[in-house]
Amino acid sequence: MNWVAWLVFALATIYTIWDGVRRTVGATTMEGFFAAGRSIPWWAAGLSVMATQLSAITLIGGVGMGYENGLEWVQFYFALPFAMVVLCIWFLPIYRQHPILTAYEYLERRFGPATRSLTSLAFLLSRCLAFAVVLYAPAVVFAAMTGLPIDVTVWTTGLLTTAYTVLGGVGGVVWTDVKQMAVIVIGIVACLAVLLWNVVSELSFGGALVALGVAGKMNPVEVYDAAWTMVPALAGEPANGSFWADKYNLWTGLFGTFFLFLSYFGCDQSQVQSILTSKSTDASRRALLMSAFTKVPLQLLVLLVGGLLFLHQSLVKEPVLFEPAAAKAASGLDGDTKVRFEAASTAHSSAIARREAAMRAIASGGSDSGQVAEYRAAVKDAVQARKAARTAVGAESDTNYIFPDFIFRELPKPVLGLLIAAIFAAAISSAAGALSSLTSATMIDFYKRWLRPSASDAATLRSSKVVMACWGIAATAAAVQLGGGPLLERVNEVGSYFYGSILGVFVLALAVPRASDTAASAGLLGGLLGIAVVHNTVQIAYLWYNLLGCVFCVAIGALVTVLAPHRRTAP
């Protein structure tokens, strides 16, 4: 980065933080700090909901996954519109007819205090772990910018976002999200334009599409047709041939993620909080539907950037190691480790040369079976060589470094500065949304409910800021341990352990009128335990945990309702 990029980055980041803080720095009530006085326009709330999905982790991880696997990840979002419609019809009216600040307050009104506290506790654990993964994304960019170790940049990012949220509250989060969305979309379009210019000038637009298709990166739908059998859980990769172990296909995208999205947008306080900032039920519906029908096109755009980047790297000699720390470690190798790394580097250079030659031939109209086979073999060999090189230096997957490597080398410096500012704004808003929801659930569901029910808003807000700082430190410490690997996948995997069971409690509230506090609590605990057992006994893709957790929770809750009937008393 030169001084122009640094200047643009600094000015844009300072403005984003200042504007967010000034909007709610004077908030003196719980409504003002945690729900922005319920004064946020529907379109701003909708952009805030979208921003949590199109955040730093989606941009960095999404481009990397598009580079590695093409459009396959878009299947993850197929169920989003259906889930949003269900939430608009059944969940939103329930939340908006009560003056609540957390989703779990409703559970006490419906069941009792035990269900509310247990569900809120499950949310706190899941959101803290997911927030830890989210913090890792901007830390990757920060490490590439400064050359600092990733642990240092994780702590720096975590402490800065914590300080911002303590000052700004939810109103600052929502308005930061609005600006973030605008700048990130501009940045994506700029990256797309640069890549199209570089790739199309070499291959032509049609040739680029053909080359992506032959490489297997243009297929957004995979209908898995292997045997519907489960296999025992073993160390290592899922067994080939198991339908349930295949992570991304049409069925996980329609059913597994349907339950994930229902729970994330309808039962996760980080999202419910954004919905509750709108002025009315109709405004909240418009906010959700806005996200539902724009997310898939935006995600396709991000993945397409990753696919074009794959072609571009074929033309400019893809590096064997994208992660700067791994490349630095490679320069200090000796002995057998150095020999293995050099062999992997030589194999990678050969595979890339073959990949480029075959790609140019296919893009120019050559499509005989020999050329196609050679191209696909070269693509596979390059992947294997990169993996061998990472193993030699002791590095994990470098998917998260693919996009940063490109933007630092290729983008015009003013655009680079603006895009990095957007990535940090996305990190700030995502982290601030998570911290605010963690704090609101802690203070409202535990502090005000059990410890100090008569505490004034002013006293509660003072305590809230201390609790928020503690959550920020805890999540940052967890980020050091949970980071690494494809971040977009990791954050959803963490949530899937909890989301199905949490959703099951709300389904019990709507579908089983006679269910009691005991039944709902037993269902939640049984669902979480059931997922733990499944995870440790069979190989099954994590997206199915969302469906199974909900089924376990509802089945156990319904069974307890039948065995121990509850006589409802007047509140």
Task: List all residues 6 or more positions away from 344 whose beta carbon is below 8 Å from its beta carbon.
Answer: 320, 385, 386, 388, 389, 392
Residues 419 and 399: their CA atoms lie apart, in Å, by: 19
- Most confident segment among 152-161, 307-316, 523-532: 523-532
If 0-12 CB within 10 Å is exposed, 13-18 middle and 19+ buried, where does residue 453 land?
Answer: exposed
Residue 230's pLDDT band, with cuts at 50, 70 and 90, is very low
Provide the pLDDT for residue 426. 73
Residue 437 pLDDT > 70, yes or no? Answer: yes
Provide the pLDDT for residue 570. 40
Q: What is the percent of the chain where pLDDT is above 70?
A: 85
Provide the pLDDT for residue 310. 95
Are 174 and 193 in contact, with CB atoms under 8 Å apart? no
Provide the pLDDT for residue 240. 46
Residue 29 pLDDT > 80, yes or no? Answer: no
Provide the pLDDT for residue 32. 53
Listed residue (408, 416, 472) closest to 155, CA to CA: 472
Average pLDDT for 444-450: 92
How many C-beta atoms lie closer than 10 Å to residue 328's C-beta? 12
DSSP string, 194-237: HHHHHHHHHH-HHHHHHHHHHTT-S-------S----EE--SSS
Provide the pLDDT for residue 544. 95
Provide the pLDDT for residue 55. 65
pLDDT in tens, 103-115: 899 999 999 999 9
**pTM of the full predicted structure?**
0.86
In our burial notation (b when 16+ CB lie closer than 10 A, e otherwise), range 289-318 reads bbbbebbbebbbbbbbbbbbbbbbbbbeeb
Please report which residue ranges of 55-149 form alpha helices under DSSP H.
56-69, 80-86, 92-96, 103-110, 113-146
Provide the pLDDT for residue 235. 39
- Most confident segment among 63-77, 179-193, 496-510: 496-510
Task: List all residues 6 or more positions away from 370 whose beta carbon is below 8 Å from its beta carbon.
Answer: none
Residue 237's pLDDT band, with cuts at 50, 70 and 90, is very low
Q: What is the percent of the chain where pLDDT is above 90?
A: 40
Tell me how long the chain is.
Answer: 571
Residues 544 and 445: their CA atoms lie apart, in Å, by: 29
Helix 150-203 with 56-69: angle, nearest 10 deg: 50
DSSP 294: T
If 0-12 CB within 10 Å is exposed, 13-18 middle and 19+ buried, where does residue 463 land?
Answer: middle
Name which residue leads in pLDDT, 475 or 289: 475
Provide the pLDDT for residue 234. 44
Residue 569's pLDDT band, with cuts at 50, 70 and 90, is very low
- Mean pLDDT for the chain overall: 84
Lowest mean pLDDT among 14-23, 339-348, 385-394, 554-563: 14-23
Average pLDDT for 123-138: 90
- Phi, psi of 333, deg, nearest 5: -75, 155
Provide the pLDDT for residue 24. 57
Residues 24 and 327: their CA atoms lie apart, in Å, by: 44
At 404, which amino acid appears? P
Residues 531 and 498: their CA atoms lie apart, in Å, by: 8
Task: List all residues 6 or more positions away from 116 whose beta carbon is below 8 Å from its beta carbon.
Answer: 104, 105, 107, 108, 445, 449
H or E stretch including 539? strand 538-539
pLDDT in tens, 279-295: 778 888 888 888 778 88
Helix (H, G, I), strand (E, B) or coil at 411: coil
DSSP 149: -
Residue 534's pLDDT band, with cuts at 50, 70 and 90, is very high
Provide the pLDDT for residue 341. 94
How many C-beta atoms lie closer than 10 Å to residue 537's C-beta? 11
Joined tokens for residue 218:
């243009």
Residue 327's pLDDT band, with cuts at 50, 70 and 90, is confident
How many C-beta atoms lie closer than 10 Å to residue 477's C-beta? 14
Are 467 and 121 in contact, with CB atoms under 8 Å apart? no
If 0-12 CB within 10 Å is exposed, 13-18 middle and 19+ buried, where does residue 196 land?
Answer: middle
Joined tokens for residue 515:
């269910």
CA dihedral 377, 379, 385, 391 (to 10 degrees): -120
